[in-house]
Amino acid sequence: MCGRDIKIRSEAAALWAQLHGEPAPEGADGARLLEQILGGLPETTYERLANPYLRPSNIAFPKFGKRVA
């Protein structure tokens, strides 16, 4: 498991513990935990990007090549 996967698992386990009041199930990776936590939520859309009055200059995308601490 790479460092990224370990961090995702750790964050998902912490979220699980806060929501359920018990430790996350053993053996479940971060993706599976997040799927179980978020699976019951309704799908929503983000209307702002579909707005015809929003200029491309108002949309900020991540800059590649720069690391954020």
DSSP class of 54: -
Q: How far apart, in whole angstroms, are the C-alpha atoms of residue 11 and residue 32?
A: 12
The pLDDT of residue 53: 74
The pLDDT of residue 2: 85
Structure tokens belonging to residue 5: 């996967």
Q: How far apart, in whole angstroms, are the C-alpha atoms of residue 50 and residue 67?
A: 29
Q: Is the pLDDT of residue 69 over 60?
A: no
- Confidence tier at 7 by pLDDT (50, 70, 90): very high
- How confident is the model over 10-59, as pLDDT tens digits? 999 999 999 999 999 988 999 999 999 988 888 876 665 666 777 777 77
What is the value of pTM for the model shown? 0.58
Q: Enumerate residues 6+ apart whose C-beta is below 8 A from 23.
A: 13, 16, 17
